[in-house]
Structure 1
């Protein structure tokens, strides 16, 4: 008798650009990691304007909580893996620039 296949779980992988977003639903073997799910989602085909390395190297999170080690983080049923785009400017630097600009306007 053949062995039962590994149990499978349903997860989602989400990625967004300013003008559009996509959530890919997947059914993967139990034990699949967050990084593996991103690879299986084939986001580089859905977002050809984004460099493929972005998806291989991006920070990942599950339901808004950043993952320290996405290569080793196993997923659970119903998890939504989020692919975070790199920041264009450091948030502290952006706040400082706004404050300096606003100070010059007499605010």
Structure 2
């Protein structure tokens, strides 16, 4: 079976490895075979989230041919809060959806 491993160890730093594994291989076995558990100690130490094609998965999940395994770091900022702050900072400079706000409403609404 061929699978792909993906891990963004830092912002703008993505590691991708294509790997051939045996039938019945689990997420843990695939990461060990690729040497990622020794290379990236934070995967187990910080207990980062694992996923297959964007859906959360457990360490013992059996993989299928063509799966893309993703090691995911937690978010530092809530995306909704970040968007509101960006919008409040830029203001309603240009025309668009939020050009005319209701009096007393929050930015971004």
TM-score (norm 1): 0.63
Alignment match, 1:102: 90
Question: Which structure features the higher share of helix residues?
Answer: 1
Q: Are positions 1:21 and 2:14 aligned together?
A: yes
3-state secondary structure, aligned to 1:89? coil
Say what the alpha-carbon RMSD is for the aligned residues: 2.3
* Rg (Cα) greater in structure: 2
- Name structure 1 gaps, 5 residues minimum: 1-8
> Among residues 26, 34, 55, which one is paired with 2:27 in the alignment?
34
The SS at the match of 1:38 is helix
Structure 2 gaps, min length 5: 94-109
Q: CA deviation at 1:79?
A: 1.3
Are 1:59 and 2:49 an aligned pair?
yes
Name the count of aligned residue pairs. 89
Q: Which residue matches 1:77?
A: 65
Mapped partners of 1:35, 1:89: distance in 2: 28
Runs of 4+ in 1 over 6 A off after TM superposition: none
TM-score, normalised to structure 2, is 0.62
